[in-house]
Amino acid sequence: MPAEPRPLPRTAALEVATGQPGQPGAPDGAAGLFARQYGEEPRAAWHAPGRVNLIGEHTDYNDGFVLPFAIGAGVTVAAARRDDGELVLASRQADGADARIALGGLAPGAVTGWAAYPAGVAWALQEAGYQFGGASVAVDSDLALGAGLSSSAALECAVALALTELYGLSVPRPQLAAIARRAENDFVGAPTGIMDQSAALLCQAGHALLLDCRSGIGTAVPLDPGAVGLSLLVIDTRARHAHVDGGYAARRQACEEAAAALGVRSLRDITDSSELAGLDPVLRRRARHVVTENSRVLATATLLREGELARTGPLLTASHASLRDDFEVSWPEANATVEAAIEAGACGARMTGGGFGGSVVALVPAESELRVRAAVAARFAREGWTEPVCTVVAPSAGARRVR
């Protein structure tokens, strides 16, 4: 990914990872920075969460199904209007790397570094025909960067809410998600799907979001692990791989090639892996992941609706195996985490996010949580890897005004 705001020191970022805006590390940080930076109080502050994808990986750009949920940690922006037509940006995670951008001259490539995400949102709003003036913006984040929890989408979505609400623009949330995605795709230049921005803007507390990425229809599906004696544990493997961008784009291209070879608009149109027989072996494995993952997402959503969360475990683990063996976007620390978690009693576990580094999500009986954490830590110690960071997450609310 292109440069993003520098993270808080790791402990600070993770201590508040399940917290709510208003607690140390995030929210007053944005308002406090605003006051110091601009010498006045912000008009308001908005928070957009990070996300964990429960299941449905690399399906969004294939018009398929995803099932993410929002977490407590995220990005908060404090903002006020300004009348000089400029977007002025400061971030607690990018000391001194402030930016001042004329809204009149925005074009892809004109802004680089972390400021490209907010500037891209302004550009995409303009491209969608919305008119608005300048803004002073202060940013704070308690999301670990590179952990696969969508810090860039959270930044985009918090800024999108700030600009639209400051100027009284009424933009339906699905459209705002598309605008934030456009910022990332066409302004920043990362060829991602619609999942992360949709999760940040559309998720509800106590629910996952079943999103049909072809129709754009999102449905809230109950996800309340605590109510049934389970925990969702996010394990940041601390592995950050340099070739993320190239690997993601290559997988996306392989999927497009497979769809073209099969004569369908996208891999969403294939529901049975036997239809993939004629593809060359690599494309066949890539496509098989997408086809089987879509059916795992739908099966998981059905179980959630039936109140059978524990029974989703094997689907999560099967998703991981498919990402490891067919799609080949997993990494050694994630594979070891999944193995150790299952051996220690997890119902299921899988890598979450685009892959090549980041986090694993494990569904764990509450009474096995300590055992799973210890087993994963012991495995990392044996391998000589940096200690992983485990956080229990709760399905949380989507983006909102917080001040």
Binds ligand GLA (CB under 6 A): choice among 19, 50, 58, 304: 58
Asked if 57 interacts with ligand GLA (CB under 6 A), we say yes
Pair of tokens at residue 130:
């919305």
Interacting stretch for ligand GLA, rule CB under 6 A, among 90-98, 193-201, 236-244, 303-311? 193-201
Asked if 156 interacts with ligand GLA (CB under 6 A), we say no
| Segment holding 47, helix H or strand E | strand 44-53
Tell the smallest beta-carbon distance from residue 170 to ligand GLA (Å). Answer: 26
- Alpha-carbon distance of 365 to 347, in angstroms, equals 7
Asked if 300 interacts with ligand GLA (CB under 6 A), we say no
Burial of residue 11, with CB atoms counted within 10 A of its CB: 0-12 exposed, 13-18 middle, 19 or more buried: exposed
| Segment holding 88, helix H or strand E | strand 86-91
- Alpha-carbon distance of 45 to 39, in angstroms, equals 16
Tell the smallest beta-carbon distance from residue 335 to ligand GLA (Å). Answer: 17
If the CB atoms of residues 58 and 288 are measured against ligand GLA, the closer one turns out to be 58
* Site size with ligand GLA, rule: CB under 6 A: 10
Residue 213: HSE in the Cβ half-sphere, 13 Å Cα cutoff: 29
Query: What character string, x for contact with ligand GLA (CB under 6 A) and - otherwise, covers 339-358?
Result: --------------xx----
Asked if 196 interacts with ligand GLA (CB under 6 A), we say yes
Amino acid at 130: Y
If the CB atoms of residues 72 and 353 are measured against ligand GLA, the closer one turns out to be 353
Asked if 192 interacts with ligand GLA (CB under 6 A), we say yes
> Which phi and psi (to 5°) does residue 130 adopt?
-85, 145
Tell the smallest beta-carbon distance from residue 55 to ligand GLA (Å). Answer: 10
- Alpha-carbon distance of 32 to 95, in angstroms, equals 14
As beta bridge partners, residue 65 has 212
CA distances from 261 to 149, 238, 331, 340 (A): 33, 38, 29, 39
- Considering 60, 63, 196, 236, which one is annotated as catalytic? 196
Burial of residue 219, with CB atoms counted within 10 A of its CB: 0-12 exposed, 13-18 middle, 19 or more buried: middle
Tell the smallest beta-carbon distance from residue 11 to ligand GLA (Å). Answer: 25
In this structure, are residues 344 and 372 in contact, taking their beta carbons and an 8 Å threshold?
A: yes
Tell the smallest beta-carbon distance from residue 338 to ligand GLA (Å). Answer: 17
Binds ligand GLA (CB under 6 A): choice among 193, 218, 357, 398: 193
Interacting stretch for ligand GLA, rule CB under 6 A, among 56-64, 164-172, 263-271, 273-281? 56-64
Interacting stretch for ligand GLA, rule CB under 6 A, among 18-26, 53-61, 119-127, 257-265? 53-61
If the CB atoms of residues 173 and 373 are measured against ligand GLA, the closer one turns out to be 173
Binds ligand GLA (CB under 6 A): choice among 4, 28, 60, 333: 60
140 is catalytic: no
If the CB atoms of residues 88 and 208 are measured against ligand GLA, the closer one turns out to be 208
CA distances from 223 to 16, 208, 309, 369, 398 (A): 21, 6, 8, 18, 14
Nearest to 327 by CA among 359, 275, 291: 291
The residues annotated with a catalytic role in the active site are 196
| Chain contacts with ligand GLA (rule: CB under 6 A) | 57-58, 60-61, 192-193, 195-196, 353-354
